[in-house]
Amino acid sequence: MTVFDTKITEMLGIKYPIIGGTMMWVTNSEFTASISNAGGLGILASAMYPSREVFAEAITRVLDLTDKPFAVNLNLFPMMRPIDNDEYLDVMIEKGLRVVETSGHSAPETLCSRFKEAGLTWIHKCVGIRYALKVQEMGADIVTVVGYENGGATGKLDIGTIVLVPRAAEVLRIPVIGGGGISDGRGFLAVLALGAQGVIMGTRLLATQESPIHKELKQALIEASELDTMLIMRSIGATHRVWANGAAKKCVELEAAQVNLPEILRVVAGEKAKSMYEKGSLDAGVISCGQGIGLAHDIPTVKELFDRIIAEAADTVKRLAGSGINSK
């Protein structure tokens, strides 16, 4: 047992109640395995893989690298290169996986029924209470809610983590994973104190040794502050929080000029981000990045990061218990 055993560690069979956020072109087989091996739950980004066969190879690779639980994310957002999630689910079932995460629009009922038939633990990630309640009724086992501070899709509601997480915890019957701006043990403990049973983080994991992005990009991120993110694509109904680099600023300029959609999409295209990750060209594309980047100051291994988070959270509990704080 660890000091932070929760319903999430019990349900998922993990050491720490820490979930690695799915990140396109980042959460590959190797990175997924490193998160799971460090005691959290790694989640493979299925949308990275263009075919059933390549996706199956990616899962096999994770299985070769870890004997710990991991999940696969099935992306329900509109995509320029759509994939057949039913086919990818076939592969997951064939490989004996036990956990699936969905994110984006509500999962189709046929897909949800297949999760149940296969005995999968289904986690759905969303940014609002009404979405969480809907998937609970559809049969989700766990709901992840992420506040407005988070990197990537922020939705339209603009609700911060400190309000969203306790609201979800008080209205849902199923366990909640909370996130948005979490980078250290203080944030981890705060999310648990707000009523969540687990914590999700993505941005902080970008600046780890195992993260498959260029070392110059990692260095730039740990030099960033909480002010160095911005919202893009709000004008087209696809708001994302990203690192405030040249490409992000160009996207906002194009939106302000009300250019046509294809021109905006060319700036934020995933292939440009992939090139940035591989070559270190810091303004080539956009990278999802939450405000918690301002709390990332070094580049540890994932295990070092997770162990530090748990130790810091435990120390904070002891400090508060010994501070003389009482309700009188």
| C-alpha distance from residue 96 to each of 16, 68, 320 (Å) | 23, 13, 43
Q: Which of 306, 322, 325, 255 is nearest to 4 (CA)?
A: 306
Q: Which of 94, 91, 153 is nearest to 128 (CA)?
A: 153
CA 35, CA 68: separation in Å to the nearest integer? 10
Q: How confident is the model at residue 275 (pLDDT cuts 50, 70, 90)?
A: confident
Q: Which of 204, 222, 215 is nearest to 298 (CA)?
A: 222
Provide the b/e sequence for 149-188 (b: ≥16 CB within 10 Å). Answer: bbbbbbeeeebebeebbbbbbeebebbbbbbbbbbbbebb
Which H or E element spans position 231?
Answer: strand 229-232
For residue 199, list its beta bridge partners.
18, 178
Q: Is the pLDDT of residue 11 over 90?
A: yes
The predicted pLDDT at position 272 comes to 87
Structure tokens, 167? 């609201």
CA 61, CA 276: separation in Å to the nearest integer? 24
Average pLDDT over residues 203-222: 98
The predicted pLDDT at position 122 comes to 97
Q: Is the pLDDT of residue 22 over 60?
A: yes
Q: Tell me the pLDDT tens digit for each residue of 114-171.
A: 999 999 999 999 999 999 999 999 999 999 999 999 999 998 899 999 999 999 999 9
The predicted pLDDT at position 222 comes to 98
Q: Which is more confidently placed, 63 or 265?
A: 63
Contact 230, 249 (CB under 8 A): yes
Question: Would you give the distance in Å from CA 312 to the centre of its chain?
Answer: 22
CA 297, CA 221: separation in Å to the nearest integer? 9
CA 55, CA 143: separation in Å to the nearest integer? 25
Q: Is the pLDDT of residue 328 over 60?
A: no
Q: How confident is the model at residue 79 (pLDDT cuts 50, 70, 90)?
A: low
Provide the b/e sequence for 235-271 (b: ≥16 CB within 10 Å). Answer: eeebbbbbbbbebbebbbebbeeeeeeeebbebbebe
Average pLDDT over residues 237-261: 94
What is the DSSP secondary structure assignment for residue 22, as one 8-state letter?
P
Q: What is the mean pLDDT of the chain?
A: 94
Kindly report, as residue ranges, where domains of CATH 3.20.20.70 are found in the chain. Answer: 7-210+302-320
Q: What percent of the chain has pLDDT over 90?
A: 85
Q: Tell me the pLDDT tens digit for each residue of 59-78.
A: 999 999 999 999 999 988 76
Q: Is the pLDDT of residue 301 over 70?
A: yes
Provide the b/e sequence for 89-118 (b: ≥16 CB within 10 Å). Answer: bebbbeeebebbbbbbebbeeebbebbeeb
CB atoms within 10 A of CB 195: 16
The CATH superfamily of 7-210+302-320 is: Aldolase class I (3.20.20.70)
CA 173, CA 171: separation in Å to the nearest integer? 7
Q: What percent of the chain has pLDDT over 70?
A: 96
Identity of the amino acid at 25: W
Average pLDDT over residues 85-92: 96
Q: Which is more confidently placed, 150 or 79?
A: 150
CA 54, CA 132: separation in Å to the nearest integer? 32
Contact 165, 147 (CB under 8 A): yes
